[in-house]
A and B are shown apart, each in its own frame.
Chain A
Amino acid sequence: MIDTSMYKDDPGYDITEKLDTPYDPTLADREYNPAKPMAGRLTDQGPPHYEQFFPEVIKKNYGKWLTHEFVQAGVIKYTSETGDLMWVVRCATPRLITTNLLREIGDIADKFCEGHCRWTTRNNLEFHVTDEGTLKDLMEFLNNFKHPGGSYKLPIGGTGTAITNIVHTQGWIHCHTPATDASGMVKSVMDDMFEYWTSHKLPAKLRISMACCLNMCGAVHCSDIALLGIHRKPPFVEHDRITGVCEIPLAIAACPTLAIKPAKVTLPDGKEVKSVTVNEPRCMFCGNCYTMCPAMPLADEEGDGVAILAGGKISNRITQPTFSKLIVPFIPNELPRYESVCKIVRNIVEAYSKGANKYERLGDWAARVGWERFFEQCQIPFTEKSIDDYRLAYDTYHTTTQFKWSSHTDKLMQEAGY
């Protein structure tokens, strides 16, 4: 068992009684007085203590697990030194879920798992059971648990060498800076990749991540495949609004290429205002100015779309953690199904699956066969946009005579008449 005695006085140490008490929708209306916000106010309580949410089998075997195995994609069997066994069923969720689905998840937890469940870092939901009969019943239930349109509500998979769930951001459903949608792209790519969600057939794990603008609240920069919303038009400057809604020095300081300068501008009505100008050829479309200043919007139907980066990883296994590299600089937003994004992801996954050695991550495969071969085998045209001209660009220059002959050099040779 876990020693949690030092936390016994914390407010959320044991919330059993609170959870046994039905929600009182009128409590705040009765007790909270906006004129006296400090009266009865509880602050800095922190989260409830985690241990009270563990299934019994986990409380009992905390720190005592011996080994695990994947029974099939999405099902993990754990063995404890106490002799206890536990099976975990992993299911995908789209992260964006309503209380309707949450209540159903609670019902499943009650029916099969003594009222417990857990979410993973990658938005998967996991159910824990302790006997194979219940495991079978749970899996059968989940395999028939569908939305009206026919999609699985909680499909089983995503372990081992499967493609696991795509971590992603809000997109157009709830964010003010996106260059593309998040939930729709994830749905489209995962629909297309679904066979890999339910199977263990890739050479190693493969992590796809999605962020809908360069702020990357999803931190996709170390993923096997990163899908990234980007802008390609410099910001507007709304001279008639900027003084009222922005701190101009902050907007100027926000620009990493010093493209924004203070300026005095005469409005159509003759009034002179303090504003800024943008040196457009220097804009790198990061959107940091818009984050600081609402009067500098970048979003644009034609300018915005998707970039694809590949070959990054986080794990320290075999090779060191690595950044993803820009391989497709731009794909227009094709709605609702992002066909070109799906096609390129499929090309990469299939070429990798065919070419990589067992245990070899996507980026390690690309480094071994050479990036020239990567572009060739994934049928992705190489463009000058993949040649770095930002900070530390030199780190990516090719300072050796070692290279491979590929379709790229074949074309050059042909053109030169060699």
Chain B
Amino acid sequence: MADLKKHDTPLLDELKKGPFPSFVDDLETRAESGVQCCYDLLGQLELSYVHKETHWKHGGIVGVFGYGGGVIGRYSDAPADFPTIAHFHTLRVNQPSSKFYTSKFLRKMCDMWDHRGSGVTNFHGSTGDIILIGTSTDQLEPTFYDLSHQFDMDLGGSGSNLRTPACCMGKARCEWSCLDTQAICYDLTMTYQDELHRPAFPYKFKFKISGCPNDCVAAIARSCTSIIGTWKDNIRIDQKAVQAYIGGEIAPNAGAFSDRDWGAFDIQKEVIDLCPSGCMVMDGNELKIDDRECVRCMHCINVMPSALRPGVDCGATILNGAKAPILEGAQMSTLIIPFIKMEYPYEEFKDFVDLMWDWWMEEGKNRERLGELIQRQGLAHYIIDILGREPIPQHVREPRSNPYPFWKEEEVPGGWTRDLAAFRARHLA
């Protein structure tokens, strides 16, 4: 340990204070156990805090044989001062659906990563992968060999690949999940392994699966194809439990307001009046829901989880095209398929995926996301001509307010070829 070199980090040392977990303390503890690269990582970060600029070089193409993703090249721009992080590449490792682990798995992963890399990780990256931060180029193939042979694991997506699909915890813990989110996530991941590892798309593509419209995995904001659970029968009501809420025997919203006095629960004010479609009413002691008018926003169910449950005829609403602002501005996913059954082997859904991908791979420009292509060529074109689906009012928030639809020639009787002479015979110029 005598040859360990600790850098002065007075600015980062400030980030050891305060109650929230200190990543500086964690990295330093690891460094003290004999890992120089953690000292160098902190040293370079301190330099960034002084210069207010990053000290990582742009890119660097590295990878493992046969894959076009899963590894992000990273090089220090100050390797003389921080030699152990001169190469400090990242591997994305495909997480198990909804991120449950055993201690045996974690410990063996630690043994592997301590041996092959820095011992620094993200649990997890934004997309959902386990991120192994920091190793040199010569360790990439052995790391992949270890992952695939000693863990039966694989790399996740990066670049113009299918990105690693992600899901909420679904039926593992949640009584609201209308979908078997883990099973869907696993099945799609396994089905599309080629797309996940070998870049064939115009740009990145993301699937995210949430079990209900609460959308805990943020599918509607950040996935090209958002699969969100819903139901088409009636909300299940336990009238006795409704009365228990009204009587104050059960805390509203599962006790989510427990540290503030909001007064006695008022079902009219807190549930019925807040229903966005106004589809609920108290009829004497009975809560009545006009389910045909319900938009399934989850509010009443969230407030009274012991009294109300989603229906049992469940499936998914499919939306397309979410993305962060780069470049044309942020987009949220837009409704495409109001309801689809999501049951193994998901053939109806996969047929839809084929149509969607064929179009995007054919028409999409370099670095054009699906959502941008839908905007460029038109939502109606996508729904009708590409997917072969019928347009319905649910496809728009409101009808267009300009009078400029692009009529096609075949829609107009007689077509667009006209007899000018006959026209002028009727109308003097």
Contact = CB atoms under 8 A, between A and B. Distances in A.
A94 B26 contact: yes
Contact of B126 (A46, A102, A218): A218
A316 B298 contact: yes
Given A160-B255, A173-B41, A217-B126, A336 B11 contact: yes
Contacts of A178: 54
Contacts of B119: 98-100
Interface stretch (A115-123, A263-271, A397-405): A115-123
Interface stretch (A19-27, A366-374, A375-383, A407-415): A19-27
Interface string A22-62: 11110111011010011011111111111111110010001
Contacts of B407: none
Contacts of B250: 69
Interface stretch (A132-140, A275-283, A286-294, A343-351): A286-294
Task: Identify which of B21, B103, B114 gathers the most chain A CB atoms within 10 Å of its CB.
Answer: B21
A48 B151 contact: yes
Given A65-B174, A174-B90, A12 B153 contact: yes
Contacts of A125: 123
Contact of B115 (A25, A93, A297, A304): A25
How many chain B residues sit at the interface, stated as a range, is 35 or more
A288 B368 CA distance: 13
Given A96-B122, A103-B107, A37 B217 contact: no
A323 B332 contact: yes
Contacts of A160: 253-258
A219 B221 contact: yes
A324 B45 CA distance: 30
Given A43-B66, A48-B96, A118-B98, A315 B298 contact: yes
B97 interface: yes
A175 B366 contact: no
B193 A67 contact: no
Contacts of A318: 274, 276, 297, 299
Contacts of A187: 15, 18, 20-23
B27 A66 contact: no
From DSSP, what is the main secondary structure of chain A's interface residues? loop
B136 interface: no
Interface stretch (B319-327, B388-396, B408-416): B319-327
Nearest to B187: A7
B99 A120 contact: yes
B102 A10 contact: no
A230 to B, nearest CB: 11
B26 A106 contact: no
A83 interface: no
Interface stretch (B139-147, B350-358, B417-425): B139-147
A344 to B, nearest CB: 18
Interface in B100-158: 100-115, 119-124, 126-128, 133-134, 141-143, 145-146, 148-154
B114 A147 contact: no
A321 interface: yes
Given A119-B124, A390-B329, A53 B100 contact: yes
A100 B173 contact: no
Contacts of B33: 100
Interface in A147-180: 147-155, 159-161, 167, 169-170, 172-178
Given A149-B16, A151-B25, A250-B366, A359 B254 contact: no
A107 interface: yes
A167 to B, nearest CB: 7
Contact of B109 (A101, A102, A190): A102
A336 B15 contact: yes
Contacts of A18: 150-152
A272 interface: no
B246 to A, nearest CB: 16
Interface string B178-207: 001011001001100110010000000000
Contacts of A42: 148-149
A12 B190 CA distance: 11
A107 B146 CA distance: 23
B233 interface: no
B29 interface: yes
Nearest to B256: A160
A333 B134 CA distance: 26
B102 A321 contact: no
B306 interface: yes
Contacts of A232: none
Contacts of B54: 172, 175-178, 299
Contacts of B262: 358
B343 to A, nearest CB: 11
Contacts of A29: 142
B232 interface: no
Given A27-B146, A103-B106, A323 B330 contact: yes
B361 to A, nearest CB: 19
B350 to A, nearest CB: 15
B124 A123 contact: yes
A70 B98 contact: no
A49 B258 CA distance: 37
Q: What are the nearest 7 A-B pairs in CB distance?
A: A149-B16, A160-B256, A191-B18, A294-B58, A106-B103, A147-B25, A216-B324
25 contacts: A23-B150, A48-B153, A78-B173, A94-B26, A95-B122, A97-B23, A100-B33, A102-B110, A109-B106, A117-B106, A121-B128, A121-B166, A149-B17, A172-B54, A172-B55, A174-B56, A176-B57, A181-B45, A183-B23, A187-B21, A194-B20, A200-B255, A215-B324, A222-B220, A301-B51
Given A27-B145, A96-B121, 5 more contacts: A46-B94, A58-B172, A119-B124, A149-B22, A358-B262
Interface of B: 11-12, 14-30, 33, 38, 41, 45, 48-49, 51-59, 65-67, 74, 88, 90, 94-115, 119-124, 126-128, 133-134, 141-143, 145-146, 148-154, 166, 168-169, 171-175, 177, 180, 182-183, 186, 189-190, 193-194, 197, 213-218, 220-222, 250-251, 253-260, 262, 270, 274, 276, 296-299, 302-303, 305-306, 324-330, 332, 344-345, 366-367
